[in-house]
Chains A and B, each alone.
Chain A
Amino acid sequence: MVRAALKLGLVAALVLFPFVVTSPYYLHLLVVVAIFSIVALGLDIVFGYTGEVSLGHAALFGVGAYTAGVLEFQFGIGFWVALPLGVVVAAGFGALLALPALQVTGPYLAMVTLAFGTIIAILINEMTFLTNGPLGISLTKPFFADLREALPWLGMSKPRMRDVEYYYVVVACLLATLVVINRLLASRFGRAFEALRDSPVASDCMGVSVYSHKVLAFVLSAGFAGLAGVLFTYSEQYIAPNNFSFDLSIGFLLAVTMGGRKSRIGPILGTMVVVFLPNLLADIELFRIVAGMIAAVAVVVGGIIAVRAPERRVYVAIPVVLCIGFLIFALWLPKITDYKLTVYGLMILFVVYYLPDGIYGLIRQALLRWKRAGAAQIVGSGAWSAISPDTVSGPLLELRGVVMQFGGLRALNAVDMTVMPGTIHGLIGPNGSGKSTMMNVLTGIYIPTAGEIRFEGHSIAGWKSPAIAAAGIARTFQNVQLFGELSLLENILVGLNHTYRGGVADIVLGLPRAAREEAAARARAISLLEFVGLAELADEEARNLPYGKQRLLEIARALALDPKLLLLDEPAAGLTAPDIVELLDIIRKIRDHGITQVLIEHHMDVVMALSDIVTVLDFGQKIAEGKPADMQADPAVIAAYLGTSHIEAA
């Protein structure tokens, strides 16, 4: 209710703005804020959700701007054609930019985007025949409809009417951007973006291809930058290559960081700060007033916290003192022009230090604390039932002579193994014997150097993780690989990604199919959580779970894939005794659902209690295979675990 009212109020304020404030200066500032906000909101997909730093968004913005500029300048084609084309062209460049992203992340990817941006800037400057080079392109703002006679009571001059009409177009684009991004990020795509940020390996193994989703994130993000670019060209009416420099990319990043990542309001707030900052820092009077206001707010907030939570006094005192110091600095400063960049830098530092989640992050935290009191309980919707796998006659999984070589180290040496359907197949061996390597080979994380792997009769050696996941092999990880910032429910929903048929278009347009699929997936996700006994915690962030529960959540997430084969990599490691009992129960129940399991475990009692057959590895070789009881007695196995000298002594 409150949210809806707020939204309505915001829209109304935007609609009424040109009639309340008649100064073209503020109208233009608001248009610029709206345009840059579109870029920042798009950047947030890449930066906030997939967690990659892009230093090339100014170039993507420039691509959109120049699409509009070139269309008008070379072909006389106007605004309405440029708008969709700008989006498409920029999105295409976004896809191009994402190509190297297959391989790299972190600073490397930042460098890719930076290099990309530089190349685009050089091309715009050099391709004079197309872009008019450094001369730039001039054009005029479109005048959509002359409503002066139809609406004489507005009393607008022609240029004013043109500006106001353009303002509405830009605001409409911003609102559309908000709706589209909201829908996408609330959907499976938003979850996939966050999943691949938190654990790329786990995403791939859940059938959510890191690569294709990264490309998608870049394409979407670039599309919005392109849209903003077109709007920018027609708003400024002059573009030149130096508009789209590295500094602008930094500005966009700053807007998102300062405002608050992973929100809609944050990037807009941040953009406002970044856009208003040069004005603010140009005028010493204004600067002093704002510094005074900041100091006043800091003192009030600090005072409230100091009274309510005395133990945090010292922690709170530092920023308050800094804010007051800032005010003194502002009053002392004789002239601001020369030091404005220093002030700018100090503000960024302040945000990084005290508002790591941005301005909106701070507000959201306060709001959450408010809300916590009355959080709703989610009710379960029936027990989970596996989609029972077709019965296969022969072996489900067959390994023949599998070799995995890392440089000089042979982690797996000609291993043969056969897993029969419906069994629990134990895989044991001392540390470094190659068990986890085997898991990684089976799930496509490593490509085997030689040998054959057949799953349901098909060779899957050399397949990528998402394809293997789609074929029906799910896994858990020795070092838990949850999507930490997603809730428990969302973690499961990532595993259920394969149940969706609708694409980006369904979600953006809000088609009924999208809603139906989402509802179905949520119901299944909750029943999976109930299966492992975590349903009450559905809305908790996964990283806040205790360790034992994290392992159970991983199992539930793997089951969401509807696997035929489930690989459990040391599920009992680090669990307490009662947790282990619960785990044994769950593993048995999974077998009862007809799902085959491969179990790596160091707890011998667990292996012995559960396994139908056990394979023993040592130094990458299979040294024994058979019934659990036989294995316990096998001299080679004992030798491997206790060392050969022991045998000799005995």
Chain B
Amino acid sequence: MQILAQLIASGIAVGMIYGVIAFGYQLTFATSKTLNFGQGEALMLGSLVGWTVVAVTGYLIMLPIVLAFGLLQGAVVERLGVRQAIKTKSEAGWIMATIALGIIFKNLAENIWGRDALKFPSPLPEAPLSFMGVNVLPMEVAIVVGALAMMLAVEVFNRRSIYGKAVVATAVDRDAAGLMGINTSLVITFSYALSSMTAAFAGVLVAPVTLTGASMGGVLGLKAFSVAIIGGLSSGMGVVVGGLILGITETLTGYYISTGYKDVPGLVLLLLVLTLKPAGLFGRATIKKV
């Protein structure tokens, strides 16, 4: 029982990491029907920039700097990689361009910060907390709380502010939003900026636990991609639940079946979800209009 609880606790921490990255996919997909295949690299860059800044300023002052960096980075990705492809309606275009930008970012990071994994100083004590025999790191609790808080903040922003409403309007119907005088291409740029900002935030949030380094983005980005699909690219809540499902599945499979096949049930689940409920567990199925 205690082992099960421990596995679930660790699964939640891992799942939240996936979920918060997946949230970024969801943001851009909603407005532009495209997503950033370099999302993992956005996370990595945020985390490494944070690593450099935190040494000077400390954790709390570092956060706004990293958030601003994330906004900028996302806007750059959209301008360089996605805008042209949206204009020409080329699916291959945005996929290849965001992958290319990811490769470039990773290589630049290798040359700036080196090729090794780096230790990110933890703002919280590193001794585990123990609840009834289940151990968690304070930082893992911070990940769960921080991720939820950030997603909540973005949702509130989208619902309450006029900019957010433009985002939602574009997500619901880009053409109609355009006709209503909303600058949809600016909204898309903004959603990319927001998406990279959440990724950068996720980067500095998870780095004390996962280590940071130029190659940290790859695996996390891919896992988060499958989480986004499981949860449904149209649902913010879905990605959280999707992340938790994948994280917990991984730790449970690892313990109860075999650590060699740890990733398989998650992927099978993904295929099942796509076969049975293609829009994702929480996605809205759209009615075909002809």
Contacts and interface: CB of A to CB of B under 8 A. Distances in A.
A122 B264 contact: yes
Contacts of B287: 406
Given A345-B104, A445-B290, A338 B274 contact: no
A342 B103 CA distance: 7
Nearest to A201: B290
Interface in B186-234: 222, 225-226, 229, 233
Nearest to B267: A115
Interface size class of A (residues with CB under 8 A): 35 or more
Given A108-B233, A246-B222, A261-B92, 8 more contacts: A100-B271, A103-B274, A119-B268, A122-B260, A345-B101, A349-B97, A352-B97, A406-B287
Interface of A: 47, 51, 53, 99-100, 102-104, 106-108, 110-112, 114-116, 118-119, 122, 125-126, 201, 246, 250, 253-254, 257, 261, 338-342, 344-346, 348-349, 351-353, 356, 406, 436, 439-440, 445-446, 477-479, 481
B182 interface: no
A120 to B, nearest CB: 10
A346 B101 CA distance: 8
Contact of B35 (A107, A344, A477): A107
A246 B222 CA distance: 10
Interface of B: 29, 33, 35, 80-81, 84-85, 88, 90-93, 95-97, 99-104, 106-108, 110-111, 222, 225-226, 229, 233, 260-261, 263-264, 267-268, 270-271, 274-275, 278, 287-290
A253 B96 contact: yes
Given A122-B261, A342-B108, A349-B80, A477 B92 contact: no
Contacts of A107: 29, 35, 229, 233
A47 B92 contact: yes
Contacts of A125: 260
Given A100-B271, A111-B274, A126-B261, A250 B104 contact: no
B188 to A, nearest CB: 16
Contacts of B29: 107
Contacts of A253: 92, 95-96
B91 A106 contact: yes
Nearest to B269: A115
A384 to B, nearest CB: 26
B103 A341 contact: yes
Given A338-B111, A342-B104, A440-B290, A348 B274 contact: no
A99 B229 contact: no
A478 B270 contact: no
Nearest to A475: B290
A356 B91 CA distance: 11
Nearest to A102: B275
A126 B257 CA distance: 13
Contacts of B226: 111, 114-115
A250 B37 CA distance: 12
A99 B260 CA distance: 26
Contact of A352 (B100, B225, B261): B100
Given A108-B278, A122-B261, A352-B100, A341 B229 contact: no
B92 A349 contact: no
Nearest to A254: B96
A348 B264 contact: no
A352 B91 contact: no
A352 B84 contact: yes
Nearest to A443: B290
B103 A126 contact: no
B85 to A, nearest CB: 7
Given A346-B104, A348-B97, A104 B92 contact: no
Contact of B267 (A110, A118, A349, A446): A118
B290 A349 contact: no
Contacts of B92: 47, 53, 253, 257, 261
B260 A100 contact: no
B104 A119 contact: no
A436 B290 contact: yes
Given A126-B261, A445-B288, A119 B267 contact: yes
Nearest to A352: B97
Closest 7 CB pairs of A and B: A348-B100, A345-B104, A341-B107, A103-B278, A345-B103, A345-B100, A115-B267
